[in-house]
Amino acid sequence: MEVNEAKVILVQLRSGEITEYRVSRNDFLLFREILLKQDDAIDFRGNAQHGGETIYTYEPNWTK
């Protein structure tokens, strides 16, 4: 995964173009680094799976 690819995925999640995205163990650190730089990072929800994958969704206000 490249930085631009991660940014595009975050935009797609935010806009509702995709409802979830599976991040592999190998791509997790890069994806998370880009995610945490987003102003609305708190609105993204990661759900860890067995085998090292994480499923990300965009759920505004899920922490409230």
**Spatial distance between the Cα atoms of 39 and 35, rounded to a whole number of angstroms:** 9
Q: 64 lies in a domain?
A: no
Q: 12 lies in a domain?
A: yes
Write down the residue that tokens 């409230």 correspond to: 64
pTM, two decimals, is 0.90
Q: 46 lies in a domain?
A: yes
Q: 63 lies in a domain?
A: no
Q: What is the 3-state secondary structure (H, E, C) of the chain?
A: CCHHHHHHHHHHHHHCCCCCEEECCCCHHHHHHHHHCCCCHHHEEEEECCCCCEEEEECCCCCC
If one counts the domains in the chain, the total is: 1
Domain region containing 18: 3-58
Per-10-residue mean pLDDT, the chain, length 64: 95 97 96 96 95 95 76
**pLDDT at position 62, please?**
79
* Beta-carbon contacts of residue 29 (< 8 Å; ≥ 6 apart): none
**pLDDT at position 56, please?**
97
Q: 19 lies in a domain?
A: yes
